[in-house]
Amino acid sequence: SNMTVSSAPGKVYLFGEHAVVYGEPAVPCAIERRATVSVETREDSRVRVSAPDLSLDGFTVEYGGNGDERPDVNVSEGLVEAGIEYIDVAVEQARDAANAPNAGFDVTVESDIPLGAGLGSSAAVVVASIDAATRELGHPLDPEELAARAYRAEYEVQDGQASRADTFCCAVGGAVRVEGDDCQHIDAPSLPFVVGFDGGAGDTGKLVAGVRSLRDEYDFAADTVESIGDLVRRGESVLAEADPTDHPPEDVLAELGRLMDFDHGLLEALGVSSRTLDNMVWAAREAGAHGAKLTGAGGGGCIVALDETAETETALRYTAECEDVFRAELARDGVRVED
Ligand code: PMV
């Protein structure tokens, strides 16, 4: 075979991170920032991974890839090693799905999703890798099976810490409703997201544990988690009433933005915001965004704002704490074949 190229989107949380851990609903949304993975089968059963833009210098690694010889990566940057681990488990899932335990691949990974910033970069790489590799083997998977296998792959690398939201959202695209283990695609209009990134990342495990102990100790924290659930349900009904084929009218954006602002306030009360996230959120609001909130685990990383104008982007560019800013419309397509 010649080569198969698949891409998969990153995601932001419109509403509901953290509360989702306690069974409340959440709404992650795929965004038009993608990881692209090219896969070509080899004559032998080895795996060669090139990731020209996943680190400063890029890297190429080749290994036996038969389960006995694991990738031996001689690079110091943790994210790069993690990148290889994700490809390794994705290759295993593809071999298993296609019943081809000895298949070898040349894999090239490119991504325009900031790494480790809570935008689902690892889920996008895993989903696109499994998709391209199974297609190469003549055994394409439907998005639901792809999501399930990508979840297993992430679960393995992340020691059981993975949430189903990232891999499902990235495989299926659009807006998603998550509640417990149940993930469903929901209708949504074209949401004009703007993402601000402070260049850092929070420790998801620590932040989740922090909310858990706060919730055990204080009634207000348990109530706050429930309040987040309430406003997610409000947000879902706003989305359900908007025409999904259209750009959202001003009143829909205003209401969603308001709910995002409330959500950020509640997350702040749960202790998962940071000064840099708060500064970016306030810069977006002052620039006229309909609303702004942290996205993902918090502690650092990204905020998401709603603004169809360029004002928020411009304001964030002049915000000292903001290292990177970009528009990211809602991605209608989840994983897709490129070329
Ligand atoms: O930072 P992310 O994108 O991995 O999101 C974490 C979301 C949490 O709700 C905080 C944790 C979880 O697993 O749902």
**Position 223 pLDDT exceeds 70:** yes
What pLDDT is stored for residue 246 in this prediction?
A: 82
Q: Are residues 88 and 200 in the same domain?
A: no
Q: Are residues 39 and 148 in the same domain?
A: yes
Q: Is 131 a catalytic residue?
A: no
What pLDDT is stored for residue 80 in this prediction?
A: 57
Per-residue model confidence as pLDDT tens digits over 265-305: 999 999 999 999 999 999 999 999 999 999 999 999 999 99
Q: Are residues 58 and 134 in the same domain?
A: yes
**Position 66 pLDDT exceeds 80:** no
Q: Are residues 203 and 146 in the same domain?
A: no
Pocket of ligand 1 contains residue 297 by CB under 6 Å: yes
Q: Are 316 and 197 in contact (CB under 8 A)?
A: no
Assess if residue 163 is contained within a domain. Answer: yes
Q: Are 307 and 287 in contact (CB under 8 A)?
A: yes
Write down which residue in 187, 203, 233 finishes a domain: 187
Per-residue model confidence as pLDDT tens digits over 92-113: 999 999 999 999 999 999 999 9
Q: Are residues 284 and 168 in the same domain?
A: no
Q: Are residues 158 and 304 in the same domain?
A: no
272 backbone dihedrals φ, ψ, rounded to 5°: -105, 5
Which residue out of 12, 22, 158, 163 has the highest number of ligand 1 atoms within 8 Å of its CB and is therefore the one to mutate? 163
CATH of the domain at 90: 3.30.230.10
Residues with Cβ < 8 Å from 270, sequence gap 6 or more? 18, 210, 211, 214, 221, 224, 225
What pLDDT is stored for residue 162 in this prediction?
A: 79
DSSP H or E segment with residue 241: helix 219-241
Share of the chain above pLDDT 90, in %: 79
The number of distinct structural domains making up the chain is 2
CATH of the domain at 237: 3.30.70.890
Assess if residue 316 is contained within a domain. Answer: yes
What pLDDT is stored for residue 161 in this prediction?
A: 76
Write down the ipTM of this complex: 0.96
**Position 39 pLDDT exceeds 80:** yes
From the candidates 106, 166, 198, 263, give the one annotated as an active-site residue.
166
Assess if residue 240 is contained within a domain. Answer: yes
Assess if residue 244 is contained within a domain. Answer: yes
Q: Write out the residue range of the structural domain in which residue 230 sits.
A: 192-329
Q: Are residues 164 and 81 in the same domain?
A: yes
Nearest CA owner, ligand 1 atom 4: 118
Report the candidate in 140, 121, 144, 120 with the shortest Cα–Cα distance to residue 131: 140
Write down which residue in 187, 207, 239 finishes a domain: 187
Write down which residue in 156, 187, 218 finishes a domain: 187
